Amino acid sequence: MIGFAWPWVALILPLPWLVQRLLPERAPSRALALPHASVQVVGKPGAGGALRHYGWMLLTWCALVVAVARPQWIGPPQQMQRTGRGVMLAVDMSGSMRTQDMRLGGVQVSRFDAVQAIASDFIDRRQGDQVGLILFGSRAYLVTPLTYDLDAVRAQLRNVAVGLAGRETAIGDAIAVAVRRLRKLPAGQRVLVLLTDGVNTAGNIEPSVAAKIAKAAGVRIYTIGIGSRSTLLQNFFGQTINAPGQGLDTAMLQQIAKSTGGQFFRATDTHQLAKAYRAIDALEPALKQKIQRRPRRPLYPWPLAFALLCFVTGLALRARRHLPWEGAS
């Protein structure tokens, strides 16, 4: 089916006629007295040529009006699954995320490798939600705005490198960036999942202040503290020893989650990390609703091309017959 995005543009169709009616008429030119009767005036075109010329100009105007009205092909309705919820993922990219104290499929991997694998599965389950991605280290960066294109979010998470955002950890700034984006969504549908393995060591906003801003904006924050309780280190002789896990401020993460209506999860291995994401998935189910959407394809280039063809044809006709611009009276 063909429709118009701006059908009201058709109101300007009679504009050339109105302009011609409102402009004052030109005074008739004086007759030319010829000194000899044998001299004749040659070259005045007939009325038929003038009518054809202005007919092409009229077609040009009508085609331009049709193009401006934005004709479009409207396809049949398609069912789409959508919710009003927005889920922003904030992932720690500081240098400590390189620590290889996680196991995935029986292989020792870094913390960030585990996050990439398990968070990607979480993203796949958010069909119908808008999902965005924030990476933070010394500063917080919005990598992917809220979008229904989950493949784009997953690709961005897969293609980043640890340390890209700096070696420190700006947790407060990451929360502030997420709140700025989520507050545009309807109340009750704003969710932030924040994952870190450290303490707030950088940024302009303290995490406690950022949590108050999030609470005022109606953003629920689920925090995940990742990292083994004991870290494998190498001593001077190259031998591996166990050292107590350090650097994770669990009290701060618990307070952020509690004050905003979310929950805190501790993930010391990939099993617990996957369990945390599944718990969040259950707490924030994607309540899908059916929405009808009709695909639209613009058609304005066709009348625009026709208008250009008519204009060129009219100019050629005028040049051939030497028609004046004013037209025949």
| Calpha distance 27→189 (Å, rounded) | 71
For residue 251, give every residue at least 6 positions away whose Cβ sits within 8 Å of its Cβ, in sequence order, or none: none
| Calpha distance 276→121 (Å, rounded) | 12
Per-residue confidence of the chain (329 residues) as pLDDT tens digits? 788 888 888 888 888 888 877 877 665 555 555 555 554 544 454 556 667 777 888 899 999 999 998 888 887 766 555 556 789 999 998 888 888 888 877 788 888 888 888 888 888 888 878 899 999 999 999 999 999 888 999 999 888 888 777 788 999 999 999 999 999 888 888 999 999 988 888 889 999 999 999 999 999 999 999 887 655 544 444 444 444 445 688 999 999 999 999 999 998 888 888 898 889 888 887 655 555 566 788 888 898 899 899 888 888 877 776 645 444 44
Sign of the C-alpha dihedral computed for residues 81, 84, 85 and 86 taken in this order:
positive
Residue 82, SS3 per DSSP: strand
Is pTM, for the whole model, over 0.75?
no
Parse the chain into domains and list their residue ranges.
1-10+46-76+294-329, 83-290
**83-290 has which CATH code?**
3.40.50.410
| DSSP letters for 160-189 | --TTTT-SS--HHHHHHHHHHHHTTSPTT-
